[in-house]
Amino acid sequence: MRIGLFGGTFDPIHWGHLRSAEEAREAFSLDRVLFIPTADPPHKKRPAISAAARARMVRLAIAGHKPFRLSTVELKRSGKTYTVDTLRYFVARARPEDSYYFIMGFDAFKDIETWKDFRSIFGLCNLIVTSRPGVDYTQSPSSIPIAVRALFCYVAKEKAFRHASGRYLSFLRITDMAIAASEIRERVADKKSIRYLVPSQVEAYILKNGLYRRNVASR
């Protein structure tokens, strides 16, 4: 089984997240995409609302699309949440026929040298680096961080970069959807509409539970 791993705070999950996952699923013939909400990300501020609420919104957003699943593995882990630990978790439990594809945005990929044990990531799974609105995106060797370039060789026939482990680094240009979770939170706080920025079920959940309102404690 070809399994995509798609991590993020999902604070809240929106159409941009869902479209990115769907285009990666289609382009790489993934059988399943696991949405993995993070608990305490090392490179971002702590999420604005609880892990339970973010997981619930992901579940609502992906309901009815069989290839999409929710994984709470990072929410159950104490302390900072590191990608390499999550990948090791899945690889340790993989069946012989399973292969993993970690989906990440180009903006995050440019800073991958700052991630914990980043060199180990490339031997654990394939990487799919997607374009991001407003971020200069190229698919040339120059787009790979300097400390990473020596770890890969380019395979022209496959239009991908191959690691010594046999894993691949691939770039995928996806539909630009300039939706930011931070802007959605601001709109809710300002009592503005978020319709068509998030799935209707997610919008209803946010409004019903009073999430992201100013001077309201996280739930």
With bands split at pLDDT 50, 70 and 90, how would you rate the model's confidence at 139?
low
CA–CA separation, 5 and 31 (whole Å):
11
Q: In this structure, is residue 192 part of a structural domain? A: no
Give the pLDDT band of residue 43 (cuts 50, 70, 90). Answer: low
Q: What is the pLDDT of residue 24?
A: 97
- What is the extent of the structural domain holding 127? 2-178
Residue 187 within a domain: no
Residues 6 or more apart from 138 whose CB is under 8 A from it?
Answer: none
- Burial category of 84 from C-beta neighbours within 10 Å (exposed 0-12, middle 13-18, buried 19 and up): middle
Query: pLDDT class for 216, splitting at 50, 70, 90?
Result: low
Domain membership flag for residue 215: no
pTM given for the model: 0.91
Domains in the chain, number: 1
What CA–CA distances, in Å, run from 3 to 39, 96, 152, 190, 215?
Answer: 21, 13, 22, 39, 40
Tokens of 32: 């399943």
Residue 129 phi/psi, 5-degree rounding, is -105, 115
pLDDT tens, 162-202?
Answer: 999 999 999 999 998 989 999 999 999 999 999 999 999 99
pLDDT at 48: 82
Q: Looking at the domain assignment, is residue 183 inside a domain?
A: no
The dihedral through the CA atoms of 53, 54, 55, 58 has a sign that is positive
- Phi, psi dihedral angles at 131 (to 5 degrees): -65, 160
Residue with tokens 């380019």: 154
CA–CA dist 187, 195 (Å, integer): 10
How far is it, in rounded angstroms, from Cα 18 to Cα 16?
Answer: 5
Q: What is the CATH number of the domain that holds 81?
A: 3.40.50.620
Look at residue 21 and tell me if it is in a domain. yes
Percent of the chain with pLDDT over 90: 72
Closest CA relative to residue 136, chosen from 165, 97, 105, 113: 105
Domain assignment of residue 132, yes or no: yes
Q: Where are the beta strands (DSSP E) in the chain?
A: 2-8, 32-37, 68-70, 99-105, 126-130, 152-155, 160-163, 168-172
Whether 219 maps to a domain, the answer reads no
Q: How many CA atoms within 13 Å lie on the side-chain side of 175? A: 14
Report phi then psi at 16, rounded to 5.
-60, -45
- Domain contains 188: no
Query: Can the peptide bond before residue 12 be classed as cis, meaning omega within 30 degrees of 0?
Result: yes
Contact yes or no for 102/87 (Cβ under 8 A): yes
53-88, pLDDT tens digit by residue?
999 999 999 999 999 999 999 998 877 889 999 999
